[in-house]
Each structure stands twice: as C-alpha cells, then as structure tokens.
Amino acid sequence: LQKLIHLLQATDDPLIQEQALITLSNSAAFSVNQDIIRNLDGLSVIGGMLSNCVPKVKEKALNALNNLSMNIKNQEEIQVFITQVCRTVESAPLNSDVQLAGLRLLTNMSVTSDYHQKMINSIPCFLHLLSEGTERTQIQVLKVLVNLSANPAMTRHLLRAQV
C-alpha cells in the first residue's frame, strides 16, 4: 500500500495513476487496509487526484475515497474534500461516470449529519440532476437528498432551494 501511494505521488502518467487508484480502491474493501491507507497519508494523496484533469483518474480517485469513507476516522479526513466533490458533481458532464462516482461518495458522507452543511450550496444542483438525469443519476441523487432530509436543520435549505 505504501508503494502504491508513493507511486501515485511520483508519476504523472494517467494510466499508472488510474491503475494505482483502482488497486487502492479494491484494497479499501478491507477495514484493516482503510486504517493503513489513512495512516500512510493516503487519503490526502488520493484526494489530491480530484484536481486531475483526466476524467478517468478523477473517477477512480472518487471511487477510492468512496470505499475509504466507510470508516468514521477516514470520513473525518475526507470531509475536507466535500466542497470540491460537490463542484466536481456540478461541473461533470450529465450522467457521466465522474458525476456518479462523486454522488456515491456524497451519499456515504451524508449518512450522518456531520457534514451536511458542506453540501448546502449544491442542493439546487442535486434537484436539477433529479429532473434532468438518467435513472442511475436520479437514484444516486435521491440517496443524497434522503440523507440530507433526515436532518431537521436541512429542511429550510431543501425547501428554499432555487431550481
């Protein structure tokens, strides 16, 4: 895992970055690896890939963070990327793999109300995706909106959103 994280930092080759991210994502299926990746500062390295201009690399970084977000301690570190993930969802092509990967990560990060405030500005985008997206996109958006709606503090923001 350490070598993968170092490889991710050391290379500019998008194909190598993509494969390293896929391997890290698969490794994150095991809780012990989630802790190891966090302890090796892997979350910030993977999060740094969110600014990559290659859509496949960005998608694989979102998938890796999504798998890593199943751990509460990891969520505490991943939450710094929520605003960037929301912007990625908003700017990605409609129904794209990048958009869906971002929505999946936001779904996991919104299971508890801890980070809902960071998603408020994206509510109009979520509602737009609900009306314009394909069924797959709509289902993912609905998961995020259901999580947000479970928090009474979000009611006003959800009802006042301009669409």
Cα angle: 39, vertex 78, 102; to 5 degrees: 135
d(CA 71, CA 67): 9
Closest Cα partner for 108 from 138, 151, 79, 137? Answer: 79
pLDDT at 163: 74
Name the CATH superfamily housing domain 1-78: Leucine-rich Repeat Variant (1.25.10.10)
Domain boundaries, the chain: 1-78, 79-162
Mean pLDDT of 95-99: 98
Mean pLDDT of the chain: 97
Q: Report the 10 Å Cβ neighbour count for 156.
A: 10
The residue to which tokens 């409609």 are assigned: 94
pLDDT at position 35 over 90: yes
pLDDT at 162: 82
pLDDT at 30: 93
d(CA 62, CA 46): 8
Per residue in 111-137, pLDDT tens? Answer: 999 999 999 999 999 999 999 999 999
